[in-house]
Structure 1
Amino acid sequence: MIQRIQSVFLLLLALAMLATAALPLWTKTDPLTNGSLTLTAFNLYRGPSAAAGEVVASAWPIGALAITAAATALYAIFQYRRRSVQLLVCSLNLLLVVATLGAAFLYSSRADAMLNVKMEGHYLAGFYLPTLALVLNLLASRYIRQDERLVRSMDRLR
């Protein structure tokens, strides 16, 4: 199970999505008033930092999608005996990760309009981790397909 490379990729994918849920995704600061907006996976905060700021809006769909994608990746790891189901779960996970990335972009673009400053906001590490998760998901799917081909070729030899 864990000795297979696709299990390692799926575990890293789950960790990346959990980190997405934990890390800030986007921030924008007004240099004149020192006001700032910080987007996390669950809320949009206004204030000097996410810990000390007030909640302006809820962004729970980002966090829900990220945690669901992480749970789906962990479920896929334990489907190692049924590779066709594992491939199907990876395909579902691909959609969840893309939806997480889309929701993060949507909420950050809406938050960008809330602070009327000509400067652009900055995407943080939490925003880029779903992109890493996409690559890891594609690699896991590739190696699962490769395993399936190997098992089928061994069945032909019998």
Structure 2
Amino acid sequence: MIQRIQTVYLLIAFVVSAVLIFVFPVWENAAGEPVFAQEQLISFGMFLISGALSLISIFMFKNRKLQFVLGRLNIILNFFLLGVFVYWSLSLPGEMDISEKGIGMFLPIVSIVFLVLANKAIKRDEDLVKSVDRLR
């Protein structure tokens, strides 16, 4: 059923991963210009894949196990993206590229929170269906 709470959580994760990357800069360079995710191919691709996984997962409501697996895969992808951001911010020498971190670096964390909430709701639904099947 598409009107479940996990659909709302997955839709919020989709908006964070695929829409807000165009609104919030990931960081500012030394000249003070904002750098968005679409300017870095790796981060842009990972954000779009994360958004696509969230959107696909919304429409997998009939197959809850696959929906749960896609959620887990999306969480892992967002942790990897967060690791890439941490690596970029800590390993670049002398404040050359990243002068000031933007709110875009924290978007994977917000996405992870909503994906975990969605997976909890999916698990709860699966447990409910299993308990009803036991009664039959």
Matches of residues 1-158 of structure 1 in structure 2 within 5 Å?
A: 1-22=1-22, 23-29=24-30, 35-36=31-32, 38-43=34-39, 59-111=40-92, 113-115=94-96, 121-158=99-136
The normalised TM-score by structure 2 is 0.87
Instruction: Decide which structure has the larger Cα Rg and report it.
Output: 1
Contact 2:32 2:99 in 1 (8 A): no
Aligned length: 135
Contact 1:9 1:136 in 2 (8 A): yes
Q: Which has the higher contact order (CA 8 A, sep 6+)?
A: 2
Secondary structure at the aligned position of 2:19 is classed as helix
Contact 2:14 2:55 in 1 (8 A): yes
Provide structure 1 residue ranges, at least 5 long, that are not aligned to the other structure.
Answer: 30-34, 44-58
Q: Give the CA deviation at 1:99.
A: 1.6
Per residue, is there more helix in 1 or in 2? 2
Query: What whole-Å deviation, never above 9, does each CA across 1:62-84 have from its counterpart, x for those lacking one?
Result: 01000000000000011101100
Contact 1:24 1:41 in 2 (8 A): yes
Cα gap change, 1:20 to 1:99, in 2 (>3 Å): farther
Provide structure 2 residue ranges, at least 5 long, that are not aligned to the other structure.
Answer: none
Q: In structure 2, what is the equivalent of residue 55 of structure 1?
A: none
The root-mean-square deviation of aligned C-alpha atoms, in Å, is 2.1
